[in-house]
Structure 1
Amino acid sequence: MSLLPSWPEQPPLRRLFVRDMVLDAQIGVHPHEHGVTQRIRVNISFGVPDEHGLSVGRDDLSRTVSYERLVQLVRGIVAGGHVRLVETLAERIAAGVLAEKRVRVVRVMVEKLDVFPETVSVGVEIERRQET
């Protein structure tokens, strides 16, 4: 569930997503969080140009972005070593997704699970756009 407002409709974008990716991450600022892993959940929603009318019936990967490549990207970033802040992790993921030439805007949510017994998660959601 996103808390950010809807994306503007111009230019038209097709929204794609990777939802509820749960990984073990080395993350946290507190001493007891160093040298251990914690479960995190990553959600990515990204917009690519929607060539409606031009692409009807075209079953062509060049119209989209490989989900597999983005999942591998997230795995690699998380496996890259200890990160202190979920905000930093979200920024790294967003930068990696925006490196895909078709992506115009990305939203990344990173949540730490199992932190407080009375919460499902704590975390951050960011939105970043291609600079024009």
Structure 2
Amino acid sequence: MTKSIFINLPVADLPKSKAFYEALGFTNNPQFTDDTAACMVWSESIFVMLLTHAKWQTFTSRPLPQSGSSEVMLALTCNSKDAVDHMNDAAVKCGGTADINPKQDLGFMYGRALADLDGHIWEAIWMDPAAIGS
């Protein structure tokens, strides 16, 4: 079995969050989607489970993250600098926030961080394949 990651995120408005992630380039897997959760696919091994607050609370008794807090920053690789910029542009168009941290351009690596509708932090990054050690 291929190793995969399922990232679970609590969201306040499931339909809006689903549309937000689709605008960023994720696709929905309807097999694992209902009125309490949506499975959003980034790649063959990366999945984001968007969970209503009620659904989230069936998995843990810990409190929901507070707006403005951060526990984790999730980074996704993109195929180009333009794709990184596109992801941030799409986030803004759908109600998210682009560039919550300063843009990072190190020449061989380019990254921009964004926040989704619930304040979950994502960083879109591009790395020059020629700069990666062989």
TM-score scaled by length of structure 2 = 0.25
Larger Rg: 1
TM-score scaled by length of structure 1 = 0.25
